[in-house]
């Protein structure tokens, strides 16, 4: 199995746990908890900021001295926008499930003092990108235009069955602004219906990294560098939750030259 593919460890509790140490990188952390009604999870943020995303279900969230009751309205990541809570560094958070919950914990280095904030679905912009079978639908949870965070960039994408996304292939692995930013990235994948599958390739220009992964429901793919397009098969929609972070909170990517002509169609 590819070292870039993280499969869930069980069906309840902490099923995914990606740390900078386990991933072999510097910035991005991603954890996924599956909770039954009444179950709780809590953690300190330490020197990292956190964005809790209700992938599905409803939970009561506490962040420091702030209480955010009944966060999350959807029962599936394929049902509209999520809700989320931002928690700054040097704080604590807890979540108690009201319903069955799938809770994503996205983290990156905290650099300044911030305040906890509820991010409602109404605060999240949506856009459709691409043409033809490259159309995909994007929800901006914590984009670079939102000053709430120091390092985190968080976004959801739904790619319809038979379509591609993160395509034409692009990369963001060089700290070379204003041309390109260095951002590590994780992809948490879900499929609808769940028995489907998709593919993701992660590769560099010199092919020193070149891996193609089979994506099944619930896996996480890691993108330390290189291009990283996805493709889902006919009949199965692909959802993914992206977490990005790097030395500068700017998403500036470089398209692979050989495929850039697709943007002119």
**What confidence score (pLDDT) does residue 2 get?**
86
Average pLDDT over residues 30-43: 98
- List pLDDT tens digits, range 200-244: 999 999 999 999 999 999 999 999 999 999 999 999 999 999 999
- List pLDDT tens digits, range 52-95: 999 999 999 999 999 999 999 999 999 999 999 999 999 999 99
pTM (predicted TM-score): 0.97
What Å distances lie between residue 35 and 55, 82, 99, 100, 249, CA to CA? 12, 17, 8, 6, 31
Whether 87 and 63 have beta carbons less than 8 Å apart is answered as yes
The residues, any chain, with a CB within 8 Å of residue 12's CB and separated by 6 or more, are 34, 35, 36
- List pLDDT tens digits, range 100-114: 999 999 999 999 999
CA distance 237 to 165: 11
The neighbouring-strand residues paired with 103 are 33, 54
Question: In terms of residue numbers, what domain contains 112?
Answer: 5-264
Domain count along the chain: 1
- CATH number for the domain harbouring residue 127: 2.60.120.10
**What confidence score (pLDDT) does residue 113 get?**
92
What Å distances lie between residue 116 and 76, 149, 151, 210, CA to CA? 25, 10, 15, 39
CA 84, 87, 90 angle in degrees (round to 5)? Answer: 165
Closest CA to 186 of 12, 13, 51: 51
> Exposure string (b/e) for 136-164, b if CB count within 10 Å is 16 or more?
bbbbbbbbbebebbbbbbbbbbbbbbebb
């Amino acid at each position: 199995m590819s070292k870039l593919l993280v499969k869930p460890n069980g069906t309840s509790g902490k099923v995914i746990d990606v740390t900078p140490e386990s991933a072999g990188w510097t910035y991005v952390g991603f954890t996924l908890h599956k909770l039954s009604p009444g179950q709780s999870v809590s953690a300190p943020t330490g020197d990292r900021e956190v964005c809790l995303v209700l992938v599905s279900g409803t939970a009561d969230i506490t962040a420091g001295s702030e209480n955010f009751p009944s966060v999350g309205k959807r029962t599936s990541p394929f049902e509209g926008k999520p809700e989320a809570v931002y928690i700054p560094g040097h704080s604590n958070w807890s979540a108690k499930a009201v319903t069955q919950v799938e809770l994503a914990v996205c983290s990156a280095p905290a650099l300044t003092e911030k305040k906890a904030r509820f991010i409602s679905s109404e605060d999240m912009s949506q856009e459709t990108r691409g043409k033809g079978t490259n159309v995909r639908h994007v929800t901006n949870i914590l984009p670079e235009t939102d000053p709430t965070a120091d390092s985190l960039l968080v976004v959801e994408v739904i790619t319809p069955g038979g379509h591609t996304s993160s395509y034409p292939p692009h990369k963001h692995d060089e700290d070379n602004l204003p041309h390109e930013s260095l951002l590590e990235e994780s992809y948490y994948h879900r499929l609808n219906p769940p028995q489907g599958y998709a593919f993701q390739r992660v590769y560099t220009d010199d092919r020193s990294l070149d891996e193609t992964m089979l994506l099944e429901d619930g896996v996480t793919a890691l993108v330390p560098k290189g291009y990283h397009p996805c493709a889902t098969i006919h009949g199965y929609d692909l959802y993914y939750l992206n977490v990005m972070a790097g030395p500068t909170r700017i998403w500036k990517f470089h398209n692979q030259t050989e495929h850039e002509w697709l943007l002119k169609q």
